[in-house]
Amino acid sequence: MSFIIREGQEKDVQAVLDLIIELAVFEKEPDAVEITVDDLLRDGFSKEPKFKLFVAIESGLVIGIALFYERYSTWKGKTIHLEDLMVTKSKRKIGAGKALYTAVLKYAHQHHFNRVAWEVIDWNVNAINFYKSTGAVYLKDWSVVQMNKEGLEKFIQNN
CA–CA distance, 97 with 85 (Å, rounded to integer): 7
Length of the chain: 159
Torsion of CA 17, 108, 132, 88, to 10 degrees: 20
Exposure string for 48-72, b = 16+ CB within 10 A, e = fewer: eeebbbbbbbbeeebbbbbbbbeee
User: What number of other Cβ atoms are within 10 A of residue 17's Cβ?
Assistant: 17
Active-site residue among 72, 101, 107, 131? Answer: 131
Known catalytic residue at 131: yes
Residues assigned a catalytic role: 131
